[in-house]
Amino acid sequence: MLSTRKTNWGRWGDDDELGALNLLTPDRVLAALRLPKSGKTYSLGIPIQRSGVPNLEYRGIPQRLTMMNHQDEAMARANGGAPGVGANEDQLVMPSHTSTHMDALCHVYSDNKIYNGFPADEVTPYSGAAKCSIANVGGITGRGVLIDVAASKGVSVLEPGYVITADDLRTALDAQGVELETGDLVLVRTGWLEDYLANQGEMMPQPGIGLEAAAFLAEKDVALVGADNAAIEPIPFDQNVYLGVHIILLVEHGIHLVEHLDLAELSADKCYEFLLTIGALKITGGTASPVSPVAIG
Amino acid sequence: MLSTRKTNWGRWGDDDELGALNLLTPDRVLAALRLPKSGKTYSLGIPIQRSGVPNLEYRGIPQRLTMMNHQDEAMARANGGAPGVGANEDQLVMPSHTSTHMDALCHVYSDNKIYNGFPADEVTPYSGAAKCSIANVGGITGRGVLIDVAASKGVSVLEPGYVITADDLRTALDAQGVELETGDLVLVRTGWLEDYLANQGEMMPQPGIGLEAAAFLAEKDVALVGADNAAIEPIPFDQNVYLGVHIILLVEHGIHLVEHLDLAELSADKCYEFLLTIGALKITGGTASPVSPVAIG
Amino acid sequence: MLSTRKTNWGRWGDDDELGALNLLTPDRVLAALRLPKSGKTYSLGIPIQRSGVPNLEYRGIPQRLTMMNHQDEAMARANGGAPGVGANEDQLVMPSHTSTHMDALCHVYSDNKIYNGFPADEVTPYSGAAKCSIANVGGITGRGVLIDVAASKGVSVLEPGYVITADDLRTALDAQGVELETGDLVLVRTGWLEDYLANQGEMMPQPGIGLEAAAFLAEKDVALVGADNAAIEPIPFDQNVYLGVHIILLVEHGIHLVEHLDLAELSADKCYEFLLTIGALKITGGTASPVSPVAIG
Amino acid sequence: MLSTRKTNWGRWGDDDELGALNLLTPDRVLAALRLPKSGKTYSLGIPIQRSGVPNLEYRGIPQRLTMMNHQDEAMARANGGAPGVGANEDQLVMPSHTSTHMDALCHVYSDNKIYNGFPADEVTPYSGAAKCSIANVGGITGRGVLIDVAASKGVSVLEPGYVITADDLRTALDAQGVELETGDLVLVRTGWLEDYLANQGEMMPQPGIGLEAAAFLAEKDVALVGADNAAIEPIPFDQNVYLGVHIILLVEHGIHLVEHLDLAELSADKCYEFLLTIGALKITGGTASPVSPVAIG
């Protein structure tokens, strides 16, 4: 086990597939509704497009393809459409782990097991994940907390490959005057995404939270961790542990992850506490879902 | 023009691409945050899968394909992964107008124009919609109102092809003790989806709101209209006007539409007013986005 | 083992991934080149399109999507294109076992083994088949022989579900005055495809060769078996043996299969012997390839 | 018009969609059958895979995805399969102009017209090309001629961006002792593909035939031109005429093109004349087809 704390396996029952999302009780939801002050809406998703955004080559680029437009108006006409009336429709072809997306608890396995001890060999080509698929998540709402590590360090972006420590998180929280609470949806800002979008630089290396920082968040009993980078964790991996932070958070603690979040506007507004809502698509058997999280400040 | 009311073209400027979503002001958002009483979270999206859900044949079925699983663990090993550690990933291939989805304002055109008078011929294969694409939407939050027409009529599902009238909407609202307000996100329940899912029946015909009911909602200055059926409007179309309700709401009034909503649980709980959040994926040039709307009751 | 004959496992070495295609020696190819008399070219592939052709629902329909057309001419202009100059390009999304296609030897397994005893669990999501993928095939040429069972029986199409016997094949060959030779590429006509295309009927049941007829072809040492139906074998399966003919031919004898062949014109011309060329796409790890076989009569 | 010769528009009728493939008469096919001496089969297609082969980023990489394997054996079991019996199947997602492919005559337009004067605006998203789609081609067979320009110049690969002249073609043909004939399927070898595959270098610049060489081949009344590079023509384009060679051959003369051919083995064997068969998939409305050409030497 990578973390020092006991894991969450069995904590919500041997059949549990939700993990730390169980912490999002109605009471906590109601409390989160009282946080917003400005009523301003923040969209935290990035554009889904072929280029200009972080796309990893081995997965292929996401493609929106026009399936039908005004040139196909004969189809509308054949169904009784008046001249000049028609519909535009797309097809989407995209990796589920591209763009802003939420990892399902089945995404990563360790010791041949996913969260809660379910076997790793139950993700099959046709049916997908038998357990802990993204279809279990649906919509979630709770208290969102931004930990703006880049701002706390007074830089626009952390160094490539920088390993964020638990102390870094604590220092940033202190500077922000915010305390973590059970069931928080924690979003960590490294500045990486803004830098990438502005400069169209390299995907790797990337800053991210290290193993110790992951264990710290797990100890705090947060419900979800997000970040503006590609993998929450740094690349190269902290201490060279392949997917180490995924293993601590996703596998051991059942904490869902959201990657490639656009946190620029929250940071600019110094909006550190907010209502956060994420609607994961109920992709049957899915290992992730593209998401468009919504914060209300 | 199909509606009796003047349209919303130009109302928010000649360059406007948001339409009635402009009505979601911070004040209205803050007011909506005060609606929830139970703190219960409702997921209004339906599963995305190859069968068992409403998929139209000409668009093809949505497919989640496993791109990588434990059988490909050699890839993880080559990157330093320990034995028994790996990742599961998918590819998605799906029509954007399938499953629970939000229509962009560019989705339908009439008289060769989309909302706000933009020309209909600016949706191109590679780039998609130049104006009013779904990428403009991002996340929205507001007061959700369920109009449970099926319940109001004491049936589990309206007759196939039934045309919902403005009176039907008024009667249901009265029975619920709810009044429409400017900027509401209105969800109409016909019972069709529940019936389809339970009985795996035919896609057509379907009940839906008629032209008059659409004009009524537009007059009420709602910000969005959703329903549990495939097209908001009935199929066959009211008065045989091809896409008539889409034309009134989407084209003439800039009112976004959300289709295939799962409203069963809201109906069962008689939850008629709620906080509603919808995060549309920022698909550049997209004519729609699959969504997983979240209601808090 | 389903066939009475010893299998071809090991016949061409323990590492062999080509199976009976090994029979296509240069001498046999040269002999086949001397068969054509008219010089007429026959295209045996069927159209690849969303509807009107045999597509199985669980695989999804094949889609050709326009990725770029004259509406995107700005892209050409940006690269120096003159006004009025541009390119049209597609994206293809399709199951590999749809339309006219060749099954790779890895397509079916029995007793957890594919042809030549390779283990069945070596087809992985990301990499595909480690052994006997369609990429091994490339192009093949040889003596094509049509066995027109429907014509031999004086019908346009065999009964749905009809099980073609070895005697049926022998009778048809006799009527045609043709003898099978080692290394032949044998195409069996049931009339099913023509009937389906003409009447847009049901996919199932289908006529096809039974277990005994498959064993007969294997005994004859043919190099490949094709047919105008969906699965070479009848559906429902002969003697209810699931994929029984696939097991005899593909698994036990390493005989590649080609399905959904358009044999109408060869039949009309009573062209029973011909030069047959099939170019399988070298899809790395692929379990099949769409093909467009070419016969010269 | 870019070429000096009159074009082929109208030559085979105002409705013609085949262009120079009309030259492949039965007599020429029969003559081509007499060319092979060794009976050796050459596969000229390259592998279709995500990396290691020439893929252009804006089109996305081709993907073979495992739709079903032994892990989904429950599906086979539900249909009566015995334990240990099952099927492996793929889905393909790929650009039609990637890998070894044949351009349809509708692929490129100039002066807003494709071959034979058909309007350029008849390629629509849903239906594809109304005229001159790849579906018209099917299978073709004829006399293949390799013009090994790289060998003729004594190099393994021509310089990046090198513009092959008509003289280069004539010199190579003379050195080979081969004369072009009407209806030939001409394959030009630059060495580029072998160099790319061996060194995984840059896609651009590339050597290719220039405008004058294209006009020379058109004058010779060839039926098809192929090459081992990405676009037949050099990149950057000869005389900076965007798609100039495509315009001369494809648009003006109705000469189909085949790109990314693997000509290494033909070159090594000094096999300059051969039987060449190409089966284009009948993709309805398609602007190209992946192909796996077969040469018999």
Worst-scoring range by mean pLDDT, A1-5, A6-10, B140-144? A1-5
Residue C7 lies inside a defined structural domain of this protein: no
Of C57, C68, C125, which has the smallest distance from its Cβ to B69's Cβ? C125
Domain identity same for A159 and A66: no
**Residue B93 contacts C where some CB pair is shorter than 8 Å:** yes
Domain identity same for C69 and C195: no
Residue B243 lies inside a defined structural domain of this protein: yes
Nearest CA in chain B to A33: B33
A128 Rama class: left (phi>0) / alpha (psi -120 to 50) / beta: left
Domain boundary among B93, B117, B150: B93
Domain identity same for C186 and C107: yes
Residue D35 lies inside a defined structural domain of this protein: yes
In the numeric block, which tokens belong to residue B131? 């104006």
On whether the CB atoms of residues B82 and A242 are closer than 8 A, the answer is: yes
Of C60, C75, C125, which has the smallest distance from its Cβ to B60's Cβ? C60
**Residue B63 contacts C where some CB pair is shorter than 8 Å:** yes
Chains touching C (3+ CB pairs < 8 Å): A, B, D
Residue A146 lies inside a defined structural domain of this protein: yes
Q: Which long-range contacts link D215-219 to residues 24+ away (Cβ below 8 Å)? A: D215/D2, D215/D3, D215/D4, D215/D5, D215/D166, D215/D248, D216/D166, D216/D169, D216/D170, D217/D169, D217/D180, D217/D186, D217/D249, D217/D255, D218/D3, D218/D5, D218/D248, D218/D249, D218/D252, D218/D253, D218/D255, D219/D5
Domain identity same for D110 and D233: yes
Backbone angles phi, psi at B217, to 5 degrees: -65, -40
**Residue D67 contacts B where some CB pair is shorter than 8 Å:** yes
Distance from CA of D121 to the nearest CA of A (A): 9
Alpha helix stretches (DSSP H) within chain C: 26-33, 73-78, 149-152, 166-176, 192-199, 211-219, 244-246, 253, 264-268
Distance from CA of D292 to the nearest CA of A (A): 24
Domain identity same for B87 and B101: no
CA D175 – CA C16 distance, rounded (Å): 40
CA D91 – CA D68 distance, rounded (Å): 9
Worst-scoring range by mean pLDDT, A180-194, C5-19, C24-38? C5-19
Contact A282 B25 (CB under 8 A): no
How are beta strands B288-290 and B163-164 bridged, if at all?
unpaired
Of A67, A71, A125, which has the smallest distance from its Cβ to C65's Cβ? A67
Q: Between vectors from CA B205 to CA B199 and to CA B206, what angle results, nearest 5°?
A: 75
Contact C60 B58 (CB under 8 A): no
Distance from CA of D277 to the nearest CA of B (A): 33
In chain D, which residues have their Cβ closer than 8 Å to the Cβ of B65?
65-67, 91
Domain boundary among A42, A71, A93: A93
**Residue A199 contacts D where some CB pair is shorter than 8 Å:** no
CA B36 – CA B273 distance, rounded (Å): 8
Of A66, A71, A93, which has the smallest distance from its Cβ to C93's Cβ? A93
Mean pLDDT by 10 residues, chain B (297 residues): 73 98 98 98 98 92 97 95 97 97 98 98 97 97 98 98 98 98 98 96 94 97 98 98 98 98 98 98 98 98
Contact D66 B66 (CB under 8 A): yes
Residue B2 lies inside a defined structural domain of this protein: no
Of C60, C75, C124, which has the smallest distance from its Cβ to B126's Cβ? C75
Residue C83 lies inside a defined structural domain of this protein: yes
Domain identity same for C141 and C191: yes
Window 155-194 of B: residues touching A by CB (8 A cutoff) are none
Domain identity same for D65 and D211: no
In the numeric block, which tokens belong to residue C224? 């490949």
- Which residue do the tokens 């909503």 mark? B261
Q: Is the dihedral of CA B90, B95, B99, B101 positive or negative?
A: positive
Domain identity same for A244 and A193: yes
CATH code at D37?
3.50.30.50
Q: Between vectors from CA D73 to CA D71 and to CA D75, what angle results, nearest 5°?
A: 125
CA B232 – CA A87 distance, rounded (Å): 15
pLDDT given for residue B202 in this prediction: 87
Domain identity same for D130 and D65: no
Mean pLDDT by 10 residues, chain D (297 residues): 73 98 98 98 98 92 97 95 97 97 98 98 97 97 98 98 98 98 98 96 94 97 98 98 98 98 98 98 98 98
pLDDT given for residue B285 in this prediction: 98
pLDDT greater than 70 at residue A3: no
In chain B, how many domains are there? 2
Whether the bond between C36 and the residue before it is cis, its omega within 30 degrees of 0, is no
**Residue C91 contacts A where some CB pair is shorter than 8 Å:** yes
Nearest CA in chain A to B283: A48
Q: Select from B55, B126, B203, B284 the residue whose CB has the most chain C CBs within 10 Å, as the one to mutate to test that interface.
A: B126
In chain D, which residues have their Cβ closer than 8 Å to the Cβ of C237?
80
- Looking at residue C121, its amino acid is D
Distance from CA of C62 to the nearest CA of D (A): 9
Domain identity same for D188 and D268: yes
Window 102-131 of D: residues touching A by CB (8 A cutoff) are 121, 124-127
D105 Rama class: left (phi>0) / alpha (psi -120 to 50) / beta: alpha
Contact A58 D71 (CB under 8 A): no
Residue B286 lies inside a defined structural domain of this protein: yes
**Residue C49 contacts B where some CB pair is shorter than 8 Å:** no
In the numeric block, which tokens belong to residue A287? 């290992």
pLDDT given for residue D5 in this prediction: 55
Kindly report the average pLDDT of chain B as a whole number: 96
Domain identity same for B67 and B183: no
Chains touching B (3+ CB pairs < 8 Å): A, C, D
Chains B–D, number of C-beta pairs less than 8 Å apart: 19
Contact A60 D60 (CB under 8 A): yes
Q: Exposed/middle/buried for B22, CB within 10 Å: 0-12, 13-18, 19+?
A: middle
Domain identity same for A222 and A82: no
Contact D67 B65 (CB under 8 A): yes
CA A102 – CA A17 distance, rounded (Å): 15
pLDDT given for residue C201 in this prediction: 83
Q: Select from D59, D65, D89, D284 the residue whose CB has the most chain B CBs within 10 Å, as the one to mutate to test that interface.
A: D65
Contact D91 C92 (CB under 8 A): no
pLDDT given for residue C57 in this prediction: 86
Distances (CA, A) of B216 to B10, B186, B189, B221, B229: 20, 12, 16, 9, 19
Tally of CB atoms within 10 A around C228:
31
In chain B, which residues have their Cβ closer than 8 Å to the Cβ of A60?
91
Domain boundary among C44, C73, C93: C93
Tally of CB atoms within 10 A around A210:
23
Residue C14 lies inside a defined structural domain of this protein: no
- Looking at residue D14, its amino acid is D
Worst-scoring range by mean pLDDT, A54-58, B258-262, C146-150? A54-58
Structural domain harbouring A252? 19-55+95-296
CA C224 – CA C220 distance, rounded (Å): 11
Of B61, B72, B125, which has the smallest distance from its Cβ to C69's Cβ? B125
**Residue A57 contacts D where some CB pair is shorter than 8 Å:** yes
